[in-house]
Structure 1
Amino acid sequence: MMPLELTCHACDVVLSAGSEDELVDLATEHASSVHGHTPPREHVVTRIRRHNP
């Protein structure tokens, strides 16, 4: 299985993880630590599913 990926639109960093849950956690941690906000989990999941058909 290929890793899932998600690109941060604010800084163009590509995040990748082995599962959706891991990628959601990674993306949430990135947004919080780098950009100072915590996106809703549902928003992150939707972006992951759109980016990884």
Structure 2
Amino acid sequence: MMTPRGIKDLIPFLNFLDREKIYYRLDHLRDDSIMVSFTLVGMRVELDFFDDHI
């Protein structure tokens, strides 16, 4: 798996989640980021993708 570095890595990250059959949700709650939320066994993960960092 790659190490995401910012918004340019959003699509490859979503493709990874698709390949692993991990259901995810996209939200746009802040003016400067897109949030990806998904659940793993015993853990909820929320990642905010910004222009230059996560």
TM-score range, shorter chain: 0.3 to 0.5
What is the TM-score with the length of structure 2 in the denominator?
Answer: 0.39
Specify which structure has the higher proportion of helix. 1
Which structure is larger by alpha-carbon Rg, 1 or 2?
A: 2
